Amino acid sequence: MRDRARTPLLVTGLGMMVAAVLLAAAPPRAGAQESAAAQTGTPEAAATRRVTFQARLTEDGAPLESGVEWRVFATAIDASGQLPLLAEAQGGSRSFEMTDGEYYVHAAYGYAGAVKRVVVDGSANEEVFTLNAGALQLNAVTTGEMRIPSNYLRFDIYSKDIDQRGENQLIARQIKPGEIVPFHAGIYHVVSRYGNLNAEIRADLRVEPGKVTQATLQHHAARMSFRLVRTAGGDAIADTAWSIITEGGDVITESSSAFPTFVLAEGDYTAIAKNRDQLYTRDFRVISGVEQDIEVLIE
């Protein structure tokens, strides 16, 4: 299971205070622990019951076979202000040996999750968690359906709702292209970044329960390489510093590489090359999907 921010997008059946304390608890540790005492102080020799937990994307869906993180908590907040973590496991359906009592059980699947208050008293030996979740699978191209290399591309996922500061809440960062990532059903604000400068596009996408929403976004940008040369087609001159200026006069990036490559959004720019305290410039235009080598001549 990938690392992720434990954002309480959907927590049903619990007060917000309890949910916040639970989801802020310590992350799962290496190795599964599949036995739990009802509360701190319960004798270790107390009789236990075997309780099985399973998670489903939808109420009538099949149980998930892998990728679920299970955490079992006591219901009483300790001196540190947290709910004690009693047991944890990873996989699909998992069983725990539990003494009689009340627990909070959290099932996490990707960025989807659900919390239930579970009473162990022998009346039931199985608990089903319905996550009401689907997944996103994202990719991006440039004009002409040209595929963007995966090492240049990342996605950030935000909630659709605006908070009190007028911002969308960040849910997931740096999602890789083609990765299938579970989320609760709902609408999400997706930001696709091509490179690390100004090539960015946004879209609102809907995740439906039990389904994978596949989306390919289109960037209007291109990779541009730069060389300071003495003659057209010549070798790049070493010890050259570069600045790329937008049409509005803003410095968008700088580099000390003799032969840098940048991803830039479509538009007009100026390249400034500095070598031996001399400045050389060239105006150029970025055309979406068209990679170019920009040569700046020493005149």
Same domain, 119 and 177: no
Q: Are residues 287 and 235 in the same domain?
A: yes
Identify whether 10 is part of a domain.
no
User: Quick one: pLDDT at residue 22?
Assistant: 44
Of 219, 252, 278, which marks where a domain is finished?
219
Question: Does the pLDDT value for residue 20 go beyond 90?
Answer: no
Do 105 and 68 meet the contact criterion of CB atoms below 8 Å apart? Answer: no
The answer on 76 and 118 residing in a single domain is yes
Q: Residue 104 domain-assigned?
A: yes
Closest CA to 126 of 105, 111, 142: 105
33 C-beta neighbours (distance < 10 Å), count: 15
Q: 176 is written with which tokens?
A: 């890789």
6, part of any domain:
no
Domain range spanning residue 170?
A: 134-219
Residue 293 has pLDDT above 50, yes or no: yes
Q: What percent of the chain has pLDDT over 70?
A: 85
By C-alpha distance, which of 225, 236, 232 is closest to 271? 225
Residues 268 and 179 in one domain: no
- The pTM of this model reads 0.81
pLDDT tens-digit readout, 220-276: 999 999 999 999 999 999 999 999 999 999 999 999 998 999 999 999 999 999 999
Q: How far apart are the first and last CA of the chain?
A: 57
Q: What is the CATH number of the domain that holds 281?
A: 2.60.40.10
pLDDT digits (tens, 9 = 90+) for 138-184: 999 999 889 999 999 999 999 988 777 888 899 999 999 999 999 99
Overall number of domains in the chain: 3
- 267/160 same-domain check: no
Domain for residue 175, yes or no?
A: yes
In a domain, 65, yes or no: yes
CATH code at 185? Answer: 2.60.40.180
> Which residue is associated with the tokens 């969308």?
168
Same domain, 237 and 258: yes
Among 219, 246, 272, identify where a domain stops. 219
Question: In terms of domains, do 122 and 22 share one?
Answer: yes
Per-residue confidence at 5, pLDDT binned at 50, 70, 90? Answer: very low
One domain for residues 160 and 249? no
Residue-wise pLDDT for 86-113, tens only, equals: 999 999 999 999 999 999 999 999 999 9
Q: Percent helix, strand and coil across the chain, each rounded to 5?
A: 5, 55, 40
The SS3 call for residue 116 is strand
The verdict on 140 and 122 lying in the same domain is no
Domain boundary among 97, 131, 165: 131
Are residues 77 and 95 part of one domain? Answer: yes
Q: Is 76 in a helix, a strand, or coil?
A: coil
In terms of domains, do 191 and 255 share one?
A: no
